[in-house]
Amino acid sequence: MKNCTSDGISLNDWEKVEDLAIEYTNVTLSDSDNSVFREKLNRLLTELEDKYGRLPSLLATEADFILDKKRALSLLKEAYVCALELNDEKNLSYISSSIVEFYNDENNIKLTAFWLEILKKHLINHNDDYLTSIYDDVLVRLCGEGSDCKGN
């Protein structure tokens, strides 16, 4: 059994990130102030970055929890490049999916389609049902319901 994430963070350290992310999400869903949890998560990510360096998992997680959209996109792109350098297919798939969702939310059809094609290529090497469902949902949005568009 592997004792670290695909980019080298110990599972013990990564579990702390997951636990705080779940707490943050639960607080957010209850319409409570989540700023305390966001700050805790930022501190933990900073500590882990000091320990491991600027790794894709840390950068992408930071992007998920900051409010500044431009900064989030910048972090996602940095995370993607880091994952490329590490040949980390798992993170390449997840990060490209996040970028697809970002551009899709912004209604930027051209860049959504561009990143959707990149996601499609990464899903060949890291098949994941959740990411495939995101791919399929965004493809339907781009091509329209009932279209024979296959993302080719």
40 and 109 assigned to the same domain:
no
21-63 residue pLDDT tens: 888 888 877 777 778 888 899 999 999 999 999 999 999 999 9
- Give the model's pLDDT for residue 145: 61
66 and 21 assigned to the same domain:
yes
98 and 142 assigned to the same domain:
yes
20 and 59 assigned to the same domain:
yes
- Global pTM reads 0.89
- Give the model's pLDDT for residue 34: 77
Q: What is the mean pLDDT of residues 94-112?
A: 97
Sign of CA dihedral 133, 137, 140, 143: negative
108-151 residue pLDDT tens: 999 999 999 999 999 999 999 999 999 999 999 998 765 556 55
Q: Of the residues 36, 59, 87, which one is the last residue of a structural domain?
A: 87
Q: Classify 41 in phi/psi space as left (phi over 0), alpha (psi -120 to 50) or beta.
A: alpha
Query: Kind and range of the H or E element at 81?
Result: helix 69-86
SS3 label, residue 82: helix
80 and 98 assigned to the same domain:
no
79-97 residue pLDDT tens: 999 999 999 999 999 999 9
The string over 108-128, giving b where at least 16 C-beta atoms fall within 10 Å of a residue's C-beta and e elsewhere, is eeeebbebbebbbebbeeeee
How is residue 33 written in tokens?
A: 């102030």
Is the per-residue pLDDT at 152 higher than 50?
Answer: no
Q: Which domain holds residue 117?
A: 89-152
Give the integer Cα–Cα distance in Å for 103 and 37.
Answer: 26
Helix 129-143 vs helix 89-105: crossing angle, to nearest 10: 30
Q: What is the mean pLDDT of residues 61-75?
A: 95
110 and 36 assigned to the same domain:
no
Count of structural domains within the chain: 2
